[in-house]
Amino acid sequence: MKMDRLLGIVIYLLNRETVSARVLAEKFEVSQRTIQRDIESISLAGIPVGSLQGLNGGYYILDSFKMSRQLLQSEDYEYILAALKGLLSGYDNLRAQDTVEKMTALAPDKPSPGLTFQLNLGVLREGEHTAESIALMEKAIKEQKRLCFQYTDTHNTVSDRGVEPLILTFQWYAWYLFAYCCDKQDYRLFRISRSRGVQLTSLPFTQTHGDAEVLLAQHGDTRPLVHVRLASKTANRVLLAEAFSNAEIQEVGGDEMILSFNVPQEEDGWFGRLLQYSHLVTVLEPESLKQRMRSQAELILKKYC
């Protein structure tokens, strides 16, 4: 157990600049005194651990230290390779392909035939237009250069945008660019499939941005949510749990059940799934969604009658 904890501490420190004894103690569920003894053991093993005093102090590992590949076992490489190959199934990137080659060469043994999973992320592909835009956006992020493009929002309003791109993210079944919008002077998420005429400019960033993942967590999704409640038969549980994976399902006696979930009000993906399964569910709330379903049904009837 102690050896596992020592290795865990080394890896945790390698992935961060400076970590306090308190944070390490909470992470590994031991006392700060135990962490101090562990740090001494790590140093005695020849791993150069430094320490800083003060409010922002803590432990760190000197940049000169490199982990031996022997710390990773054959099964570790298999999981890493499976994840990387899964990424390539839905994302064209020459550098990622090179990474797969390097990891394959580093693996101490050939992959075993008993790998328990495979990732196929072909759903990430949204067509040639999106792939070309992603390539330009990646280049802009690396070079810290501004992008400009024409953007169509969920209300079908078209505008020209100039942005400082920070990170690409795949969520809600689509690719998005998280960026600082120079026009709105705030952070925004842009759905890439709605961006046209993406151009990489020679203009450098005008703002100093922090960690992109932290900013994404803070500003990424500010869209208003709507609370949806649906009624259905319990016989449809498997299908509906798959269609609305974030739903809370409550059985209400007999063969009836209620599904409750929150969804972004201005996104249409969930509404499309609701229409797909409209023969299996009844909308209980909100009232505005009932009206939207009625209006959509009337449009369909008008078109085909």
Per-residue pLDDT of 246-281, as tens digits, reads 899 999 988 999 999 998 877 777 888 899 999 999
- Same domain for 257 and 288, yes or no, is yes
- Same domain for 208 and 231, yes or no, is no
Intra-chain end-to-end CA distance of the chain, in Å: 71
- Same domain for 57 and 95, yes or no, is no
Calpha distance 206→279 (Å, rounded):
52
- Same domain for 132 and 201, yes or no, is yes
Is 7 contained in some domain?
yes
Contact indicator for 59, 13 with CB cutoff of 8 Å: yes
Q: Is the model's pLDDT at 302 over the cut of 80?
A: yes
Bond from prior residue into 224 cis (ω within 30 degrees of 0): no
Q: Is the model's pLDDT at 233 over the cut of 70?
A: yes
- Same domain for 90 and 150, yes or no, is no
Is 66 contained in some domain?
no
- Same domain for 248 and 232, yes or no, is yes
- Same domain for 147 and 215, yes or no, is yes
Is 278 contained in some domain?
yes
- Same domain for 213 and 134, yes or no, is yes
Among 176, 200, 219, which residue terminates a domain?
A: 219
Mind listing the pLDDT tens digit for each residue in 24-49?
999 888 999 999 999 998 888 888 89
Is 67 contained in some domain?
no
- Same domain for 207 and 230, yes or no, is no
Q: In angstroms, what CA-CA distances link 275 with 229, 245, 290, 292, 305?
A: 14, 16, 12, 11, 19
Among 167, 185, 219, which residue terminates a domain?
A: 219
pLDDT at 108: 65
pLDDT at 57: 86
pLDDT at 110: 57
pLDDT at 74: 73
Is 85 contained in some domain?
yes
Mind listing the pLDDT tens digit for each residue in 140-168?
999 999 999 999 987 789 999 999 999 99
Among 35, 61, 87, which residue terminates a domain?
A: 61
pLDDT at 282: 96
Mind listing the pLDDT tens digit for each residue in 191-201?
999 999 999 99
- Same domain for 116 and 138, yes or no, is no
Mean per-residue pLDDT of the chain: 86
- Same domain for 185 and 204, yes or no, is yes
Q: Is the model's pLDDT at 172 over the cut of 80?
A: no
pLDDT at 170: 86
Mind listing the pLDDT tens digit for each residue in 99-121?
777 777 777 665 555 567 777 77
Residue 239: pLDDT band (50, 70, 90) is very high
pLDDT at 179: 95
Is 235 contained in some domain?
yes
Percent of the chain whose predicted confidence (pLDDT) is above 70: 92
Is 177 contained in some domain?
yes
Calpha distance 53→49 (Å, rounded):
14
- Same domain for 234 and 202, yes or no, is no
pLDDT at 111: 54
Mind listing the pLDDT tens digit for each residue in 52-71?
888 888 999 887 776 655 56
Q: Is the model's pLDDT at 51 over the cut of 70?
A: yes
- 210-218: which pairs have CB atoms within 8 A and are 24 or more residues apart? 212/166, 212/167, 212/178, 213/167, 215/166, 215/178, 215/187, 216/166, 216/167, 216/169, 216/178, 218/187
Tell me the residue range of the domain where 14 lies: 2-61
Query: 48: domain CATH number?
Result: 1.10.10.10
Query: 181: domain CATH number?
Result: 2.30.30
Q: In angstroms, what CA-CA distances link 203 with 162, 163, 192, 193, 207?
A: 10, 10, 21, 24, 12
Number of domains forming the structure of the chain: 4
pLDDT at 115: 65
Rounded to 5°, angle at Cα 6 from 212 and 26: 55
Most confident of 10-24, 37-51, 227-241: 227-241
- Segment 214-228 mean pLDDT: 84
Closest Cα to residue 240, out of 227, 253, 230? 230
Contact indicator for 82, 119 with CB cutoff of 8 Å: yes
Query: 243: domain CATH number?
Result: 3.30.70
Say which residue, 101 or 292, is predicted with more confidence: 292
Radius of gyration over every alpha carbon of the chain, rounded to an integer in angstroms: 25
Calpha distance 196→158 (Å, rounded):
10
pLDDT at 70: 56
Is 277 contained in some domain?
yes
pLDDT at 140: 96
pLDDT at 64: 74
